[in-house]
Structure 1
Amino acid sequence: MPINNDASFVETMPRNVAVQFLERVDKSGPREAYRYPVGDTWESVTWREVGDQVTRLAAGLMALGIEPEQRVGIVSGTRYEWILGDLAIMCAGAATTTVYPSTNAEDTAYILSDSECRIVFAEDDSQIAKLVEQKAEIPHVAKVVTFAGSADGDWVIGMDELSALGDGYLADNPTAVTDHAEAIQPDQLATLIYTSGTTGRPKGVRLRHRSWVYEGEAIRAQDILSEDDLQFLWLPMAHSFGKVLLSTQMACGFATAVDGRIELIIDNLAVVKPTFMGAAPRIFEKAHGRIVTMQAAEGGAKEKLFKKAFEVGLEVDRLKREGKSVPLPLKLQHAVFDKLVFTKIRDRFGGRVRFFISGAAALNREVAEWFHAAGILILEGYGLTETSAGSFVNHPDQYKFGSVGHIVAGSEVKIAEDGEVLIKGPGVMEGYHNLPEQTAETLTEDGWLRTGDIGEVDSDGFLKITDRKKDLFKTSGGKYIAPSAIESQFKAICPYVSQFLVHGSERNYCVALITLDPDQVTGWAEANGMADKSYAEVVRSEAMQTMIAGYVDQLNARLNRWETIKKHEILDHDLTVESGELTPSMKVKRKVVEEQNKELIDSLYA
């Protein structure tokens, strides 16, 4: 089935996010819009109810004096109130500045100050404490509105109080919200997302209303999602991947179950039973590793059945993707294994998933093929904060594992002479906030965005990303190494790994720093008589060291001689967002990890 590349929707799409939202409320009023956890149950709200809540909150912002394009911050994890706050900001004609809840007090103050936020939505008392601590550094902030924290009746108020202010404003100005919405221009600032850079201060990416509307409408035009779908949303809403899924919901009208607690993703999937979900590759890698090691622990006939099921599943899947017929004996085997093995795996994810969308980092091809053999399709996409997230995505009817799909309709791609991917289209940012020089370095005069990624487009139009331009390195022997390609392969081989970082710039061989998944380490320790040992003690044990060394040997057997890992070290802790070693979207801050482990890396070359 050919992909719909008709970009005529660009000419007829809503003028701005506020109008897009209000049109969705009018169209889908009585249908479910969101559900969110309240204690042990899930509460549901309709589009009409959301529209009423957002209207009151938007009017409340106006009552507090918010004017078009003035910034309003949201310092919170992913939750239903985050979405209410963002939509209220959009409908008031203001612009949202997003801040991750894990951001420290100093950087939070920097972002709110640099963006000149007038009002801030704060999730709870811990986020309010940051603002109070840095109050002198954020003089523009006149009011804080908390989702679940303690209001002081002065600087900090609750959502109910903001809604009450809105009621009073609407009594005198009944059409204020719709008037403001209709007055918003397509190129007006909608969002400031500060990228969590590995060094220096974060940069504020200026994204316009038309960019978000375009992103959602481009997915709607592909006709892969409808009002009948159900999304599970856990991604950080402060990240563009989460935000673009919100835009897609406005365009398509499906319902969304919202809960940002990462530790409950698998549990929530079993309860919510969504039809699709966006996620970072680490979620799929972790699930893959967990399932594989659980079966290995069973041993005996069950483990043999599991392995044979995937041998058959992968072979059937390969034949189908190559357009070849599946022999009847293999087809019958597959039907048996689907009932005995694959159905149980699908049930772990709720049993109704039509596809997952993977983004924010590269997904290993073997992991994607493994899930597909079990009947779970993971569609990899690609984009940057600077392109409003979605620039490429595979389609359920036309996809290639190992690629990030086709360019979305209405945008363009070209590959520079040095292999860098360049993108042009309505999703591209206006620029970096207050940073004209960095903007000029990233955007060409004729509107092409330099992505910083190296890639190639094949004869069928699928883009394959090979590495980050700045991460490529050359050994002292003159050989170029793409570390992420090696790192991705190890994650498919070793079910215990969390992170695998390859080093070797200007060195005569490559080495690796390895971290293991804490949950997997706990399970392994219990099965190997080390349940009373700490994570650090387990990973340093001779048995664990020998096992991981075996996986490194398997990796080396796949690599060119100059790529092989001559030495490696397992760190005594996993990388975390809180430690500053991961971004909130689970990308490794490579330079931070290198700096923190410089002596260790040097010792591997001693």
Structure 2
Amino acid sequence: MAVDPRKLTSLHCLYYWAEKSPERTYLTQPYPDGTVEDINWKQAADQVSRMAAHLNSLELPERSNIAVLGKNSAHWILSDLAIWAAGHVSVPLYPTLNGDAAAYVLEHSKAKLLFLGKLDGTADGWNDIKGHIPSDLPIISLPMSPRDDTPKWIDVIARHEPAAPKLPSQDALATIVYTSGSTGRPKGVMHNFGSMMSVADGLQQMFTVTSEDRMLSYLPLAHVAERAAVETQSLYFGFHTYFADNLDTFQQDLQRARPTLFFSVPRLWMKFYLGVNAKLPPKKQKLLFSIPFVRSVVKKKVLKQLGLDHCRAALTGAAPLSEEIILWYRNLGLELLEVYGMTENFGYSHASRPGRARIGWVGEANPGVEHRIGEGGELEVKSPGMMMGYYQNEEKTREDVTADGFLKTGDMGEIDASGYLKITGRVKDLFKTSKGKYVVPVPIENRFNHPSVEVVCVAGANQPQPCLMILLSEDVREALSNGMDRAELEQELLKELGAVNEECEAHEKISFVVVVKEPWTMENGMLTPTMKIKRNVIEDTYNRKMDSWFEQKRKVVWEL
């Protein structure tokens, strides 16, 4: 199959659905005051065309880079489309960036204008970012923008008649996506419209997706995973997209959407799991699930409370998810399918197929994708979603892309005889103990599973043995602060540590577990916007304490 010629790019798709299904709701946006706005396809196309007319009136240089900064919202997607309709290039910024990083992206991308969206300074970087926005950079505020002294979207579109869109070719530069920066400065990954559309083209060959589907958008649209899974697919297939207002209303927003397709990252799948366990302890679950006439009712009730009772395809990606959690969801009747991709190939690389998924493996190569294991065990991938290169960095492009067009992913992998891929760690994550032995952290981290533990990180470079740092779940941290006895939890952690060490080689065995005090968040730089650990930041933060932890000779160390 190939991309529908009437839907060659995301912008083509917008106008296709506006003509075919003008009155169907495309976007549903909740607001902080409790109101909810529905925007149909006709309205979406009209707003995009009017904003494009305004951008045209500014007479910006041809193919200007225009930045979009804000949390996910209906108007984030509409501004993205308006930039394209005016013939420009969109540059999304993560709302959790610090001020220096935001300033770097705005300067490096040579942004000519900024669409400023939903930010409030509580769970984002606005308080730091606002002082780093160049004073001469024009700003247009989307609904829920923190600025009220700039032109507003609603006022701007009211002043203009719709402009005829400048429909792009598939090989035209569409967006520059800056990597989440788990190490070093973020790189600007250039994607054309064709590489973005490869996701929809491949998906229609693997899954049945229709305009009757529904998705909830809440992972950062600035990342290719959400842009591919939600924005591009909703535009191509024409399905209804909902947004979440904030963390406090997330469950309500999920209940409103009742998604049929749901994409999340391991950290959030773990949070859902811990949330259910807090209300329905594992021992009680085991008992109820063992009673034939009760088990199906209870499982359906759990999925309904999660807002996932209508979900027929649930995807997990960005980092590994433990076998225990995947099996728990499968037991509920929700088959979690692992997927794998990179910013550099717009997330179009590998996916598990329904009924053929293998736990611990990220699936098979997507249609049109080639893969191989290169030097040092590094996975190399050639994909229809391949980037055009790194913006203003040809040297890095040559370094990361082989002469025959394969991307050096930086991931270590295994490919079995059936073509299934397993990711075994990051090339740069390997570290040596003081005995000169290499440790691969990810497989060990994946084996440590305890219902009270939210995130783990194996460390210990240049130490006799590795150690394991853990962040307890929010509920458990709160209970401990309220006087819960930690002795029982210590014993459980020791038991889990023993089980993990049984499967480790001698040089990999974990010497002790450290219960960290400070939560790891996007705001303090410990997590990327897709909630993967920033290993180098975590290691730098705790390295100075390592020697004293080893000197304690305790199996469970509580950070003071």
The answer to whether the 8 Å contact 1:278/1:356 transfers is: yes
Quick one: which amino acid aligns to residue 267 of structure 2? R
- For residues 128-277 of structure 1, the aligned pairs below 5 Å read 133-136=131-134, 139=136, 141-149=137-145, 156-167=150-161, 170=162, 174=163, 176-177=164-165, 180-181=166-167, 184-245=168-229, 246-259=231-244, 261-277=246-262
Specify the SS of the correspondent of 1:464: strand
The answer to whether the 8 Å contact 2:470/2:516 transfers is: yes
Specify the SS of the correspondent of 1:421: strand
For residue 32 of structure 1, what is the aligned residue in structure 2?
Answer: 25
Specify the SS of the correspondent of 1:148: coil
Q: 1:17 aligns with which of 10, 23, 26?
A: 10
Specify the SS of the correspondent of 2:160: helix
For residue 323 of structure 1, what is the aligned residue in structure 2?
Answer: none
Quick one: which amino acid aligns to residue 496 of structure 1? S
Q: Distance in 1 between matches of 2:84 and 2:93?
A: 17
Q: 1:520 aligns with which of 476, 487, 496?
A: 476
RMSD over aligned CA atoms reads: 2.5
For residue 499 of structure 1, what is the aligned residue in structure 2?
Answer: 455
Q: 2:302 aligns with which of 323, 330, 345?
A: 345
Cα deviation 1:206-254 (Å, max 9, x = unaligned): 1111111111222123342111111111111111111102111112111
**How many Å apart are 1:35 and its aligned residue?**
1.2
**How many Å apart are 1:517 and its aligned residue?**
1.4
**How many Å apart are 1:11 and its aligned residue?**
8.7
Q: Distance in 2 between matches of 1:130 and 1:603?
A: 34
For residue 315 of structure 2, what is the aligned residue in structure 1?
Answer: 357
Unaligned runs of 5+ residues in structure 2 are 552-560
- For residues 305-454 of structure 1, the aligned pairs below 5 Å read 305-308=284-287, 334=292, 336-339=294-297, 341-350=298-307, 351-454=309-412
**How many Å apart are 1:187 and its aligned residue?**
1.9
For residue 327 of structure 1, what is the aligned residue in structure 2?
Answer: none
Unaligned runs of 5+ residues in structure 1 are 1-7, 297-302, 313-332
Specify the SS of the correspondent of 1:455: strand
**How many Å apart are 1:475 and its aligned residue?**
3.5
Residue 57 (structure 1) aligned with residue 57 (structure 2): no
Q: Which moved more, 1:548-557 or 1:206-215?
A: 548-557
TM-score, length-normalised on structure 1?
A: 0.84
The answer to whether the 8 Å contact 2:458/2:467 transfers is: yes
Q: 2:82 aligns with which of 82, 88, 109?
A: 88
The answer to whether the 8 Å contact 1:111/1:194 transfers is: yes
Q: Distance in 1 between matches of 2:143 and 2:36?
A: 18
Q: CA, structure 1 residues 549+116, in 2 after alignment: closer, same or farther (shift >3 Å)?
A: same
**How many Å apart are 1:555 and its aligned residue?**
2.7
Q: CA, structure 1 residues 258+149, in 2 after alignment: closer, same or farther (shift >3 Å)?
A: closer
Q: Distance in 1 between matches of 2:148 and 2:36?
A: 29
**How many Å apart are 1:602 and its aligned residue?**
2.6
Q: Distance in 1 between matches of 2:16 and 2:91?
A: 24
For residue 287 of structure 1, what is the aligned residue in structure 2?
Answer: 272
Cα deviation 1:312-366 (Å, max 9, x = unaligned): 6xxxxxxxxxxxxxxxxxxxx5554222x31222112222111211111112222
Residue 601 (structure 1) aligned with residue 546 (structure 2): yes
Q: CA, structure 1 residues 130+293, in 2 after alignment: closer, same or farther (shift >3 Å)?
A: closer
Percent of residue pairs identical: 30
The answer to whether the 8 Å contact 2:198/2:348 transfers is: no
Specify the SS of the correspondent of 2:429: coil
The answer to whether the 8 Å contact 1:96/1:192 transfers is: yes
Cα deviation 1:41-80 (Å, max 9, x = unaligned): 4332221221111111122221222454211111101111
**How many Å apart are 1:117 and its aligned residue?**
0.9
**How many Å apart are 1:477 and its aligned residue?**
4.3
Quick one: which amino acid aligns to residue 271 of structure 2? K
For residue 424 of structure 2, what is the aligned residue in structure 1?
Answer: 466
**How many Å apart are 1:294 and its aligned residue?**
3.4
Quick one: which amino acid aligns to residue 226 of structure 1? T
Quick one: which amino acid aligns to residue 462 of structure 1? Y
The answer to whether the 8 Å contact 1:379/1:394 transfers is: yes
For residue 329 of structure 1, what is the aligned residue in structure 2?
Answer: none
**How many Å apart are 1:514 and its aligned residue?**
1.4
TM-score, length-normalised on structure 2?
A: 0.90
Cα deviation 1:406-451 (Å, max 9, x = unaligned): 2211222112142211111221111111112211111112211000
Q: CA, structure 1 residues 515+305, in 2 after alignment: closer, same or farther (shift >3 Å)?
A: closer
Which one has the bigger helix percentage?
1
Cα deviation 1:357-407 (Å, max 9, x = unaligned): 111111222211110011111111000111112311112243222221122
For residue 105 of structure 2, what is the aligned residue in structure 1?
Answer: 111
Cα deviation 1:519-570 (Å, max 9, x = unaligned): 2332x44xxxx63x5xxxx69x555444433332333344344322112211
Quick one: which amino acid aligns to residue 532 of structure 2? K
**How many Å apart are 1:261 and its aligned residue?**
2.5
Q: CA, structure 1 residues 518+128, in 2 after alignment: closer, same or farther (shift >3 Å)?
A: closer
